Structure 1
């Protein structure tokens, strides 16, 4: 019985509810009142439901009619979305955009770029993955994300197209309660190695790249927020992205360690947007990439 309902019948029903009468619905739809009445009668007959009480001067929606007009409005919205999506896909917009972001990446530019994408393509289905170290790159490599935002390690460079987006500064920090906070000796490798170092690691490849690891005693974390909690609690020292600890440095929750050795503290780390070389970006992904490049 569902197949007998037409979008035109549902549109007539919704228009009557919105305008208040058959005649007003006819004027809005530029149809004769008799055509409006016929559409309603056909819908009632086909569905076996009385939609309007005709005992009064003007037809009034029945209880069933009020329930079904809400359903009709929803069906019409979905039909409109279907048509818009089909038209957008025909114009090159991908049906879905999957986007993965490494936890090291400053999040504000990502929020701004995704907001612009949503305003530009409101019907585009976007799936966002926020990943631990290495996760965004891995998703771009295996195809579970069309676009990834991450640091790029050499093994992935051959199969991924990369676009520089921004860079992050690593800052060595420690809790004011930690012994290193009152250390009077220069912050050499030997001094730092006396203490536990809190290290961010790839959860699927703990033997993979590690930045600035100098201590034989290492606690490994797969997410930055947990490592920050342990840092503030005084369990060790670490190099953290500057944008994540700036507030804590201002508040005195953390102190910056005076490390000058470049072999311990690397320069800025480059963040890239990456995708598979043999997988061209759709309209939505290209738009997101352009906004990220301009951020």
Structure 2
């Protein structure tokens, strides 16, 4: 019997409950009152319960009616969502958007992006992933992810188009009781004498290459959270995104090291949004790129 239930019957049911009478619902729906009455009678027959008590001047929801009204609203909401998603798909809107970001990408910026995306595209599934170094372009090139935010790895793979984003500040830090924390004008030779905690790449794209590594004594990790934990535990020193350790510096859980020499690559890290050149960008992808870019026009990098 439930196969004969229709969305129109549910709309009539909700309209009567919302506007208080069959006549008011009929006016709101631009229907004859008899059509509204018949729709409710048919719905009650399909469901096998009375939805309204009609003994008074105005119809009153029965206990069953109150309970089923919640479900009716949910069914219509899902139906409207289905129609909106189908319309979006016919207009080129993606059903899903997947973004892989470098581990150095600021967490709060990622949360803000996800929040804004959810409001802008409530019907598009957003899938996020965090990677290190070559893991970002590798996942984009494979087609597993639509967009990437590449940070630690400075190279742009030929098959990718890159959009330059604002750089993120890097800070050399160590625990307060680390030997380097009490030193001033720390030289590169002094850095080499102490264990450096370094992010490592599982993708193999950076094999044989190092970035901002000064010491042969190293602890390797692929996770920024574990790197911070090791720094706090005084297992070594390392470069961290300023935003990631701001609270640790303010509370003196970590100390900023006073380096005598700071090459540009140790002061800040460029971020580059990448996507495959051979794939067109849908509305959601374009929106994410616009959110990532500043109001100032940044260059687009395309390698051939």
TM-score range, shorter chain: 0.7 to 0.9
Structure 1 residues 264 and 208, CA gap change in structure 2 (3 angstroms): farther
1-structure distance, mates of 2:105, 2:208: 19
Q: How many residues align?
A: 294
Secondary structure class of the residue paired with 1:169: strand
1-structure distance, mates of 2:264, 2:41: 81
2-structure distance, mates of 1:195, 1:223: 21
Which residue matches 1:200?
A: 199
1-structure distance, mates of 2:85, 2:265: 49
Which residue matches 2:177?
A: 177
Map 1:1-295 to 2 at 5 A. Answer: 1-151=1-151, 153=153, 157-183=157-183, 187-205=186-204, 207=207, 209-261=209-261, 266-294=266-294
2-structure distance, mates of 1:187, 1:99: 39
Q: Which shows bigger deviation, 100-109 or 201-210? A: 201-210
Structure 1 residue 199: deviation in Å? 0.9
Which residue matches 2:299?
A: none
Q: Does the Cα contact within 8 Å between 2:168 and 2:269 map onto a contact in 1?
A: yes
Structure 1 residue 83: deviation in Å? 1.6
In structure 2, runs of 5+ residues without a counterpart are: 296-304
Structure 1 residue 282: deviation in Å? 0.6
Structure 1 residue 266: deviation in Å? 3.7
Which residue matches 2:298?
A: none
Scaled by the length of structure 2, the TM-score of the pair is 0.85
Q: Does the Cα contact within 8 Å between 1:214 and 1:264 map onto a contact in 2?
A: no
Scaled by the length of structure 1, the TM-score of the pair is 0.87
2-structure distance, mates of 1:180, 1:115: 40
Q: Which shows bigger deviation, 151-160 or 98-107? A: 151-160
Structure 1 residues 14 and 264, CA gap change in structure 2 (3 angstroms): closer
2-structure distance, mates of 1:51, 1:248: 60
Q: Which shows bigger deviation, 103-112 or 222-231? A: 103-112
Structure 1 residue 265: deviation in Å? 6.2
Q: Which shows bigger deviation, 16-25 or 62-71? A: 62-71
Residues 161-210 of structure 1 deviation map (CA, whole Å, 9 limit, x = unaligned): 111112123322222201122347x6334322222111112245484643
1-structure distance, mates of 2:134, 2:5: 51
2-structure distance, mates of 1:259, 1:84: 56
1-structure distance, mates of 2:102, 2:120: 24
RMSD: 2.6
Q: Which shows bigger deviation, 227-236 or 264-273? A: 264-273
1-structure distance, mates of 2:152, 2:131: 14
Secondary structure class of the residue paired with 1:137: helix
Secondary structure class of the residue paired with 1:38: helix
Secondary structure class of the residue paired with 1:294: coil
Structure 1 residue 231: deviation in Å? 1.1
2-structure distance, mates of 1:217, 1:33: 84
Q: Does the Cα contact within 8 Å between 1:100 and 1:149 map onto a contact in 2?
A: yes
2-structure distance, mates of 1:63, 1:134: 60
Residues 49-83 of structure 1 deviation map (CA, whole Å, 9 limit, x = unaligned): 33233344433323332222221111111111122
